[in-house]
Structure 1
Amino acid sequence: MASGVVRVGTSGWRYAAWRGDFYPAGLAQRRELEYIGERFSTLELNGSFYSLQRPASYHRWRAAVPEGFVFAIKGSRYVTHMLRLRHVETALANFFASGVLALGPTLGPVLWQLPERQEFQPELLDAFLALLPRSMGAALDLARRHDDRLRGRTWLEIDEDRPIRHALEPRAESFRGAGDMLHEHGVAMVVADTAGRFPRFDALTADFVYVRLHGAHELYGSGYTAAELDEWAGLVDGWARGGGDQPPRDVYVYFDNDARGHAPHDALALAARTSD
């Protein structure tokens, strides 16, 4: 049986500390995403977490990367942190209407990060997971139910009805009991390294694995040693190959330890160690 596809990248790309370090001195900021696309196979878009982006931005990002590149996109914090997963259908419609579908074949998993104070409430989580669209067609149907706040700034087209994957990053220990529910919905439980700040969940709940590396020793700040990268590479390759009662899985890994510019260097080092 063929192994899953491994993709390694960073969370975001617009960081001043990367300029003159990871990005060559003199590289125009408008070409930074193109530079990322030449060196990685994926990137986590995180601006979508803070505010609804515009269709023109998604079109521009798609055009900047090569064929086969995949964007993960971070779901709106309005859904996760403000509404706290309650009464979110319109907010989800607005999110998918804002231009997400313009990514077309470059659209990868959608990440939903929960706040630390969000405890596992089975009925609430089950209802939320049931609302998530599992295909571009379903996302388009949902997007058409957007409210007037997006009038005149929507993208309501798809070129093909591809599947959409979702991943959940909880930050409360009570979610250790949510594995079966996530498995039923086919949603991945994020494997997050947070320097011990938040719980780490290792349950494999979907046909892919989503990993976020925020720093092994200092949240968002510390880099990864060669030994630590070797350990993560072993895990990633194991998930991709499968074995025993575990099938091969696609694996997406994103470094979010960007505070001191470690993320792109660590991502390149891990990619060189894996089947990426």
Structure 2
Amino acid sequence: MIFIGCAGWSLAREHWPAFPAEGTHLQRYAAQFNSVEINSSFYRPHRRQTYERWADSVPDGFAFSVKIPKHITHELRLAGSEAALDEYLGQCSGLGNRLGCLLVQLPPSLAFDPAVAEGFFSALRQRFAGPVVLEPRHESWGNAEPLLIKHQVSQAAVDPSRISNDASPRGSQGTKYWRLHGSPRIYHSAYDLPYLQQLTQALQVATEQAVATWCIFDNTASGAAIGNALSLAKALVIAAPDRRTSTPL
């Protein structure tokens, strides 16, 4: 399955006609998309009951990717985070079987320290067996692939690229995750049709390898994410029967 969605479920007004008029923002969003990335968990905790309510708001087959708090990644810098992981996982596990993935986004200043990384991912894996995706932003993490594979952690493909090895998914190949921030103006710019066509082909190749495949648009600041995600979802439905004869976007 390909999970397509956005970082958050805010619906830009110009795209309202594509969604039901009734329901909460999340319910309306989930009528068109099968996944969402929760970024607010990075900034503040949510009660377990809040996650449970979100899970009850979406249809079967919908999945949430939940960003690990900045307290763990940016303040503790992965070290000594066992108690914080317990608190966070106790909250987001309220999603139940809708919890599709954990996202670990690192600060640009955090270099790869094998001992710290080993300790963190060992602690995380003692507590969580599901898909984990890493978005590193320091060049030294190019040396981390053996450790990521050991702990079954995938590395996201990122646009715009932040380091030399993040243009395509790396690490564990059990999950492939594209995280698209907008280019050339990060968080604002919409992706053009040629880019989305190339992306459609890359996602289809990933699914042919029978791995869980995610594509999250984070170019939300000016509302471009929703339009890009709608276009990509439409293209993949059209292209699904036979990639060789897929209709252009």
**TM-score, L = length of structure 2:** 0.88
**Please, which moves more after superposition, 173-182 or 102-111?**
173-182
Q: Note the C-alpha offset of 1:198.
A: 4.9
Contact 2:102 / 2:133 at 8 angstroms: preserved in 1?
yes
When the two chains are superposed, the root-mean-square deviation of aligned CA atoms in Å is: 2.0
Residue of structure 2 aligned with 1:182, choices 143, 148, 155: 148
Q: Note the C-alpha offset of 1:178.
A: 1.1
The C-alpha deviation readout for 1:36-59, integer Å capped at 9, x for no partner, is: 111001011111111110122112
Q: What percent of counterpart residues are identical?
A: 31
Aligned length: 235
Residue of structure 2 aligned with 1:221, choices 184, 188, 196: 188
Q: Note the C-alpha offset of 1:273.
A: 2.3
1:11 aligns with 2:7: yes
Code of the residue aligned with 2:3 in structure 1: it is R
Residue of structure 2 aligned with 1:54, choices 47, 50, 59: 47
Matches within 5 A, 1:106-145: 106-133=98-125, 138-139=127-128
Q: Match of 2:135?
A: 169
Q: What are structure 2's unaligned runs of at least 5 residues?
A: 241-249
Q: Which has the higher contact order (CA 8 A, sep 6+)?
A: 1
Contact 1:111 / 1:168 at 8 angstroms: preserved in 2?
yes
* Structure 1 CA distance for aligned equivalents of residues 96 and 112 of structure 2: 33
SS of corresponding position for 1:90 = helix
1:233 aligns with 2:200: yes
SS of corresponding position for 2:215 = strand
* Structure 1 CA distance for aligned equivalents of residues 171 and 86 of structure 2: 28
SS of corresponding position for 1:254 = strand
Q: Note the C-alpha offset of 1:216.
A: 2.5
1:73 aligns with 2:35: no
Runs of 4+ off more than 4 Å: 24-28, 196-200
1:38 aligns with 2:31: yes
SS of corresponding position for 2:219 = coil
Code of the residue aligned with 1:173 in structure 2: it is E
The C-alpha deviation readout for 1:25-81, integer Å capped at 9, x for no partner, is: 9957x6110011110010111111111101221122111111111111111110000
Q: Match of 1:21?
A: 14
Contact 1:197 / 1:219 at 8 angstroms: preserved in 2?
no
Q: Note the C-alpha offset of 1:240.
A: 1.4
Q: Match of 1:249?
A: 211
Q: Match of 2:246?
A: none
SS of corresponding position for 1:132 = helix
Q: Note the C-alpha offset of 1:261.
A: 0.5
* Structure 1 CA distance for aligned equivalents of residues 146 and 165 of structure 2: 17
Q: What are structure 1's unaligned runs of at least 5 residues?
A: 140-162, 243-247
Q: Match of 1:209?
A: 176
